[in-house]
C-alpha cells in the first residue's frame, strides 16, 4: 500500500496544495513552520479520523474557511482508490470512497493503514492514561475497523450514563432531593455489552503486540533492556458479567461522585524495561526509544496482518543520535512507503535514499536528486 497523491484544500496553512508521492522513502524538507507536519497530519486523519496534535477538528480547517478537504489516492494491489474527507467544524464530517459518498465518515476507516511517529509520542510513555488508551484503540480499529462502531457506542452510552449520574448528584447537592436513577440499570447493561467487547479486543491486541514491542525496542536500543507491556483494567475479566459486577460494586461511589468509575475508559497500559516500570525510572533516551518502539511494533503488527501500512516519521531523526538514526533507517528502509519530515536534510541518513521534496509556505516541490 502507498499514497500516490495527496491534495489539501483549506487545511491548516494550505489554501490549496497537491503533491505526488512515490513508493519507498519520501523526504519532506523545509524550515520549521512551513507546513511539513500539516501534510502528514492530514494523512493520519484519513487513517484514524483524528489528529495526533489536537483533540478536535476545528484547528485543522484553515483560518477563515468554513470547511477543509483532504483527498488522497491510495494504491493497493495495483488498484487505486480515491478517499475524500470534508471536515466541517461543529458538524458531522462528510466522506467519499471513490466517487460514492458514504453514510458515515468512519466508513472509510481501513482504506488507509498508517502508523505515524512524532515527538508528541513521548506522551505515550510519560503522559496520561488517555494517551495510551487512544494508542490502543486507534491500532485496534486499524486492524479491525468494526471496533470504530464499538468504541463509538461505548462512548455514547458512557456519556448518557455520566449525565444521569451527574444530574442525580446535582439534585442531591443543590436541591437536597434524591435524583432519579431508575434507568441506571438499563445503562449498566448497555455499558457492559459494549465495554466487554472493547476490552476483549484490547486484550487480544496487547497479546499480539507484545512480541513486536520487545523486538522493536531491542533493535532501536541495541539490546539495552527488555521491553514489555501489561494491560491494567478496572475489571477482573473482560466479560459482560464481570463488568456488571464491577458496576454494581462501584455504584455507591459513583452516585456520590456523579461519574462512572469502572470500564475501559478508566483502564491503562503499564510499560516496563526489565524489572522496572518505564514511567518514573526510564531516562529521556530510554523513554524516547520506548515510544519509537511502540510505533514500530504497531507497524510490524499491521504488516504481519498482510497489508503493509504507510510509515510516517515526523521530525524524528533530529531527536536521535547518529547511531539511532542509522539503526532506524535500516529498520524502515524496506517499507512500501515511508514519509519523513525534517528541517535539515543532513539529519536523514543517506542510506534511506528515496524521493526528496522542498516544503515552502503554501507549496511542495519535488527535488531532483
* Residue 333 to residue 190: CA distance in whole angstroms: 46
How many CA atoms does the CB half-sphere of 66 hold within 13 Å? 1
Say if residue 230 carries a ligand binding annotation: no
Q: Any binding-site annotation on 353?
A: no
40 marked ligand binding residue = no
Note whether 314 and 116 are within 8 A (CB).
Answer: yes
User: Whole-angstrom Cα distance, residue 184 to residue 248?
Assistant: 11
Which ranges of 127-235 would DSSP assign to H, the alpha helix? 129-143, 147-174, 184-221
Is residue 56 part of an annotated ligand binding site? no
- Which residue, chain included where needed, has cell 521491553? 227
| Residues 41, 127: Cα–Cα separation, whole Å | 20
Residue 173 is assigned to a ligand binding site = no
149 labelled ligand-binding: no
Closest CA to 84 of 102, 64, 66: 102
Tell whether residue 34 is among the known ligand binding residues.
yes
DSSP letters spanning 9-57: EEETTEEEEEEE--SEEEEEE--TTSSHHHHHHHHHHHHHSS-SS-SSS
d(CA 237, CA 246): 10
C-alpha–C-alpha distance, residues 158 and 256, integer Å: 17
Beta-carbon-side half-sphere exposure of residue 329 (alpha carbons within 13 Å): 19
Q: How many helices (H) and strands (E) does the chain have?
A: 8, 15
Q: Which residues contact 289 (CB under 8 A, 6 or more apart)?
A: 217, 220, 221, 324
Contact of 312 with 39, CB cutoff 8 Å: no
35 is in an annotated binding site: yes
Rounded-to-integer distance, Cα 44 and Cα 117, Å: 10
Q: What is the DSSP string of 77-110?
A: TTEEEEEEEEE-TTS--EEEETTEE-SSGGGGTT
As annotated, the binding site for ATP includes 30-37
As annotated, the binding site includes 30-37
Amino acid at each position: 500500500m502507498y499514497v500516490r497523491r495527496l491534495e489539501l484544500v483549506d487545511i491548516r496553512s494550505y489554501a490549496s496544495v497537491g503533491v505526488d508521492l512515490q513508493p519507498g522513502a519520501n523526504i519532506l524538507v523545509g524550515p520549521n513552520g512551513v507546513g511539513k507536519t500539516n501534510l502528514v497530519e492530514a494523512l493520519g486523519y484519513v487513517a484514524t479520523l483524528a489528529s495526533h496534535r489536537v483533540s478536535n477538528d476545528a484547528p485543522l480547517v484553515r483560518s477563515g474557511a468554513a470547511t477543509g478537504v483532504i483527498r488522497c489516492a491510495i494504491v493497493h494491489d495495483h488498484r487505486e482508490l480515491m478517499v475524500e474527507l470534508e471536515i466541517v467544524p461543529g458538524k458531522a464530517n462528510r466522506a467519499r470512497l471513490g466517487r460514492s459518498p458514504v453514510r458515515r465518515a468512519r466508513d472509510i476507516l481501513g482504506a488507509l493503514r498508517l502508523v505515524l511517529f512524532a515527538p508528541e509520542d513521548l506522551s505515550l510513555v510519560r503522559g496520561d492514561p488517555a494517551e495510551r488508551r487512544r494508542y490502543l484503540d486507534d491500532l485496534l480499529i486499524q486492524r479491525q475497523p468494526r471496533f470504530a462502531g464499538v468504541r463509538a457506542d461505548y462512548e455514547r452510552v458512557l456519556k448518557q450514563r455520566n449525565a444521569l449520574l451527574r444530574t442525580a448528584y446535582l439534585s442531591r447537592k443543590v436541591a437536597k432531593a434524591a435524583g432519579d436513577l431508575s434507568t441506571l440499570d438499563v445503562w449498566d447493561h448497555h455499558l457492559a455489552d459494549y465495554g466487554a467487547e472493547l476490552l476483549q479486543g484490547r486484550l487480544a491486541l496487547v497479546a499480539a503486540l507484545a512480541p513486536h514491542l520487545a523486538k522493536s525496542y531491542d533493535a532501536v536500543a541495541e539490546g539495552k533492556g527488555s521491553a514489555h507491556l501489561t494491560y491494567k483494567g478496572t475489571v477482573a475479566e473482560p466479560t459482560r458479567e464481570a463488568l456488571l459486577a464491577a458496576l454494581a460494586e462501584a455504584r455507591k461511589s459513583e452516585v456520590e461522585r456523579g461519574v462512572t468509575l469502572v470500564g475501559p475508559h478508566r483502564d491503562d497500559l503499564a510499560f516496563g524495561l526489565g524489572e522496572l516500570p518505564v514511567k518514573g525510572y526510564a531516562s529521556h533516551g530510554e523513554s524516547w526509544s520506548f515510544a519509537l518502539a511502540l510505533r514500530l511494533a504497531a507497524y510490524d503488527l499491521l504488516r504481519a496482518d498482510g497489508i503493509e501500512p504507510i510509515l510516517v516519521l515526523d521530525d524524528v531523526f533530529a531527536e536521535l543520535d547518529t547511531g539511532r538514526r542509522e539503526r532506524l533507517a535500516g529498520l524502515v528502509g524496506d517499507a512500501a512507503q515511508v514519509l519523513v519530515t525534517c528541517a535539515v536534510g543532513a539529519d536523514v541518513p543517506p542510506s534511506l535514499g528515496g524521493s526528496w521534496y522542498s516544503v515552502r509556505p503554501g507549496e511542495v516541490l519535488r527535488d531532483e536528486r
